[in-house]
């Protein structure tokens, strides 16, 4: 498979990780030059594609200096341990609450099996531990300063309690992980245009914290969002879309929820809601919700989990 590198500028690019054989859903970013810095690894099942992309960029695994992981969900960081086994000189940078899962991924593995069952191995592959002295945790608003690159780490709640976004002030770009929505490309969905919807995956989805994170980020001079799912978008549009769709999503969940609700009924409610929103945004009649892929299942689980917790604590 020929891996295409999409240039942001002369030293920053992104490439498709073809997660679970799907194009244009998950990508990684690479600074290449005097410092080689990778942001996201994808799943272990994307490892061969990741190595081929590095080769296309003329970067060997041994030349990787840093790997930054926005959070440890398997589509973002499941392949970190596999990469560590060949990228011997790289240090892995993350949120303080993520570091223990990179060092000992047993709880991640257990959680993934609870969601995916035996299909987890086929979907995401093996989880391999990383030596503790190679894992670097970053506090909120801390800086990583290299000779030709400086990056700021921001703790961003809402999607996961161990989530970071990474800000590059020279380029005014934000590596957003899943904090500023998922960008569904028209090339895949055929909805009529690219659309951004929030990720509500379990177990940490918190719409209040999501909006607080967006409000914080909007105060920064960010011009471009670099989504892991998928590629760059204009910051103002991404912030506004993610906020509005988060509010509408939760309003829908509150309207349909009762204590007897199952994942299947929440998934149907979510599908109906998304079909309505796609129609409002694009004019397309009866849009195909299967175009949201696995996110439909994950978001319905996350919404149901959030609503159950909300009603338990009232």
Indicate the class that CATH gives domain 1-137. alpha beta
> Which residues, other chains included, contact 270 with Cβ-Cβ below 8 Å and sequence gap of 6+?
249, 252, 296, 299, 300, 303
| pLDDT tens digits along 243-278 | 999 999 999 999 999 999 999 999 999 999 999 999
CA-based nearest residue to 141, from 166, 176, 161: 166
pLDDT band at 297 (very low <50, low <70, confident <90, very high): very high
Establish whether domains 1-137 and 145-313 are of one fold: yes
Q: Does position 93 have pLDDT exceeding 90, yes or no?
A: yes
The span from the first CA to the last CA of the chain, in angstroms, equals 52
Looking at residue 127, the DSSP 8-state letter turns out to be -
CA-based nearest residue to 187, from 24, 10, 11: 24
For the chain, the structural domain boundaries read 1-137, 145-313
* Per-residue model confidence (pLDDT) at position 311: 85
* Per-residue model confidence (pLDDT) at position 314: 58
User: Looking at the domain that runs over 145-313, which CATH code has it been given?
Assistant: 3.60.15.10
* Per-residue model confidence (pLDDT) at position 313: 66
* Per-residue model confidence (pLDDT) at position 187: 96
């Amino acid at each position: 498979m020929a891996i295409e590198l999409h240039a942001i500028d002369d030293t920053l690019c992104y490439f498709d990780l073809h997660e679970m054989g799907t194009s244009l859903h998950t990508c990684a970013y690479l600074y290449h030059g005097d410092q080689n810095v990778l942001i996201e690894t994808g799943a272990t099942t994307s490892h061969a594609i990741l190595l081929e992309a590095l080769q296309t960029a003329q970067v060997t695994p041994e030349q990787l200096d840093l790997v930054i992981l926005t959070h440890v969900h398997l589509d973002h960081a499941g392949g970190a341990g596999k990469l560590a086994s060949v990228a011997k000189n790289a240090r892995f940078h993350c949120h303080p609450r993520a570091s223990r899962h990179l060092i000992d991924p047993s709880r991640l593995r257990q959680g993934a099996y609870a969601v995916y069952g035996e299909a987890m191995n086929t979907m995401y592959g093996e989880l391999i531990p990383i030596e503790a002295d190679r894992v670097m945790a970053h506090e909120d608003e801390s800086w990583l300063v290299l000779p030709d690159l400086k990056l700021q780490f921001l703790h961003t709640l809402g999607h996961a309690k161990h989530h970071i976004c990474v800000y590059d002030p020279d380029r005014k770009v934000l590596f957003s992980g899943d904090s500023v929505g998922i960008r569904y490309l028209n090339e895949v969905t055929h909805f009529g245009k690219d659309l951004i919807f929030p990720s509500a995956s379990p177990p940490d989805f918190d719409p209040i914290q999501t909006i607080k994170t967006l409000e914080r980020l909007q105060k920064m001079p960010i011009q471009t969002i670099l989504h892991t799912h998928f590629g760059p978008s204009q910051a103002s549009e991404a912030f506004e879309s993610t906020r509005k769709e988060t509010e509408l999503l939760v309003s829908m969940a509150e309207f349909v929820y009762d204590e007897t609700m199952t994942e299947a009924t929440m998934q149907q409610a979510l599908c109906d809601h998304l079909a309505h929103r796609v129609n409002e945004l694009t004019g397309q009649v009866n849009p195909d919700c299967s175009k949201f892929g696995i996110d439909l299942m994950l978001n319905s689980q996350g919404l149901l989990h959030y609503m159950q917790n909300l009603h338990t604590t009232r």
